[in-house]
Amino acid sequence: MSGGAELGFTEHLFKVLVIGDHKVGKTSFVKRYVKNQFYEELKTTIGVDFSMKVIDWDSHTRVRLQLWDIAGQERLRGLNRVFFKRSSGALVVYDMTNGSTLDGALNWKHELDSQVMLKNGRPIPAVLLANKCDETKVCRRNASLLEKLCQEKGFIGWFQTSAKENINVDEAAKFLVKHILQNNEESVKEEEQNMQINLKQQSKSNSTCC
């Protein structure tokens, strides 16, 4: 998923899923992140809404994020499963004002892990977003609960966000991208190692062959 290196400049293209129950604010989150806009009423997402965010990560890295904002209705979940493949990371969103959507988010995470994984078999990095935090506050007990959930369910972290008030939107995405980049480097290294092993094996076999 990474582009070619040119004069030490790398461009990466990552597919990031935005999943969660309906009406938790996935599309609003994406709109805020990509366009820095907020609308009270957006059209329901049917299927997938696509967005692209280009990040100049540092002086020699550019990241292109393909955001796949997937329709939330339970009924359509089977349909949308096919959209999971080849994704590098996920933002799993729930609505802080609606407790049942947290369970939904955990289901989505479960589904995600069953559908996609990294090359090394580990789950793809996923961040849990407690959205609409402008409407309520997380008390400390909740915070520790979320912390625990993250560890149990294998999220790399959680953020309370508000697309409306633009709270933690960039931060959460940045956090995810950082992990995706790390994974990417690791997998590149692993590949290199594998290549070397292959080469060694090849040279060995070559030598024995003669």
- Comparison of 48 and 118: residue with beta carbon closer to another protein: 48
Residues in the chain: 210
HSE-up of 95 (CA within 13 Å, CB side)?
Answer: 15
- Comparison of 9 and 50: residue with beta carbon closer to another protein: 50
Residues 6+ apart with CB under 8 A from 55: 62, 63, 64, 65, 177
Tell the smallest beta-carbon distance from residue 44 to another protein (Å): 4
- Comparison of 30 and 169: residue with beta carbon closer to another protein: 30
CA distance 6 to 24: 41
- Comparison of 8 and 78: residue with beta carbon closer to another protein: 78
Mapping DSSP to helix (H, G, I), strand (E, B) and coil, where does residue 192 land?
helix
Tell the smallest beta-carbon distance from residue 56 to another protein (Å): 18
Tell the smallest beta-carbon distance from residue 12 to another protein (Å): 14
- Comparison of 42 and 55: residue with beta carbon closer to another protein: 42
CA distance 140 to 137: 9
Say if strands 48-58 and 61-70 run parallel, antiparallel, or are unpaired: antiparallel
CA distance 132 to 124: 25
List residues near another protein by CB under 8 A. 22-23, 39, 41-52, 66, 71, 73-76, 78-79, 81-83, 100
Tell the smallest beta-carbon distance from residue 7 to another protein (Å): 23
Tell the smallest beta-carbon distance from residue 192 to another protein (Å): 26
CA distance 94 to 207: 59
